[in-house]
Amino acid sequence: MALIEDVAALAEEFAVIRRNLHRKPEIGLDTVETVSLIKSKLDEYGIEYEDVGVNSVVAVIRAGDGDRTVAFRVDMDALPMEEENEFEHRSTVEGCMHACGHDGHCASLLAFAAYLSAKRDFNGTVLLLFQSGEEGYEGALRIIEDSFFDRFKVDYMFGYHAWPGLETGRIAVHNGACMSSEDRFQISVTGKSGHASMPHVCNEPFAAVADIIKGLQSIIVRRVPSNERGVVSVTQVHGGSLPNGIPDKVVIHGNVRTCNEKVQDTIEENVDRVVEGAGGMYSVETELNYVRKHPVLVNSVPEIAVSAAERAVGVENVVTDMESSMAAEDYAFFMKYTKGCYVWIGNGLDSPPLHNSRFDYNDEVLPIAVSFFAEVVKELL
């Protein structure tokens, strides 16, 4: 591995910053203290910045007279879950922890800011975007709605995720889909309530609910081509409060994932058919609320990332044949507005999975991420 010497020298300093971020996690769009730290470091480096979205920040670094702009984005919010780790830098905030590596993502972009402030040997503009609210709080959309792509002419954008199960020192680059879409649905089934001993005078909704759940499970195997991937999961069923009473209404919640927008269309159409069919079969009222929360994350310029990764970690450490993940990432919204690539950097073969109460960002990833970003700048600017 041939990490940039000046980057390697920053590793320990920013590992300390990363651990401090881990101790003080913040949820969703409420990343006030994290943003304060970011701004204080950017001030220290003499880098200008602007607020964007909700508690997100974009640093602007210019050099030369080039008109090309390359952006790098990281997320910085934590998760509402209790940490089980016992190390010194474990979370000090009850019921909140960095279980997805955003503390490390944030620290690595700060390290990149420090590197660029001292090495402005490029020709153009580099944007460093620190985003709040990635974990389901629409942080990327808030940034886009705040005219980010009008305020800045972004030619390319790059990002990464520390990835459990991928060997430390390796970078995975996907050609096309990297991470899945996420859709959410709510189905309301309304009949007529009454006493459980007299179902003939009621119109109980549970028979329709049972058929809906069974029908949803058939969509992937019967409607989606066998060479495509998709997931339809029922995640909640709520209805009734009496052991001897039939309720008026039952509500079903579910989650849909796929890595192909056409498959996404197919699944939504068939969820609607299943719900409508069950409603007609059992003479109950049905209502479907189907929300497309995240699009598929599609890499449009993987060749640039591969070239940069090969220089950062060596050709032998660049992986291009990993399957895309069925997890979603709101970075996907940015890829609707510009070209770019999102890569995975190995957090270790023995790393606990993401969103696990014992997950911790591997500090060895930090200089690898910065070296990768630096090589992207060399490639494009």
- Measured distance CA(76)–CA(97) in Å, rounded: 11
**pLDDT, tens digit, for every residue of 174-184?**
999 999 999 99
- Residue with token string 């609707």: 336
**Phi, psi dihedral angles at 276 (to 5 degrees):** -65, -40
- On the question of pLDDT at 5 being above 90, the answer is no
Maximal CA-CA distance, the chain = 81
- Measured distance CA(83)–CA(94) in Å, rounded: 8
| Residue-level pLDDT at 226 | 87
**pLDDT, tens digit, for every residue of 113-123?**
999 998 888 99
Architecture of domain 192-283: 2-Layer Sandwich (3.30)
**pLDDT, tens digit, for every residue of 74-83?**
999 999 999 9
Its CATH class, for the domain covering 5-178+295-380, is: alpha beta
**pLDDT, tens digit, for every residue of 17-27?**
999 999 999 99
Cβ neighbours of 244 (radius 10 Å): 7
Burial class from Cβ neighbours inside 10 Å (0-12, 13-18, 19+) for residue 293 reads middle
Contacts of 296 (CB under 8 A, 6+ apart): 177, 179, 180, 181, 258, 259, 260, 261, 264, 332
**Phi, psi dihedral angles at 360 (to 5 degrees):** -150, 135
- Measured distance CA(170)–CA(312) in Å, rounded: 10
- On the question of pLDDT at 7 being above 80, the answer is no
Question: Whole-angstrom distance between the N-terminal and C-terminal Cα of the chain?
Answer: 23
**pLDDT, tens digit, for every residue of 205-234?**
999 999 999 999 999 999 999 889 999 999
CA distance to 111, 127, 232, 301, 362, per residue, from 308 (Å): 18, 18, 36, 12, 21
Instruction: For residue 246, give the 3-state DSSP assignment.
Output: strand
Q: Cβ distance 310 to 169 under 8 Å?
A: no
Average pLDDT of the residues in 57-71: 95
Q: What is the domain partition of the chain in residue ranges?
A: 5-178+295-380, 192-283
CA distance to 88, 198, 328, 361, 363, per residue, from 93 (Å): 14, 52, 26, 18, 21
**Phi, psi dihedral angles at 363 (to 5 degrees):** -65, -15
Burial class from Cβ neighbours inside 10 Å (0-12, 13-18, 19+) for residue 339 reads middle
| Nearest residue to 137 via CA among 361, 357, 354, 330 | 330
| Residue-level pLDDT at 199 | 87
- Measured distance CA(266)–CA(290) in Å, rounded: 13
Cβ neighbours of 107 (radius 10 Å): 31
- Measured distance CA(105)–CA(111) in Å, rounded: 10
Average pLDDT of the residues in 37-59: 97
Q: pLDDT > 90: what percent of the chain? A: 88
Q: What is the CA radius of gyration of the chain?
A: 24
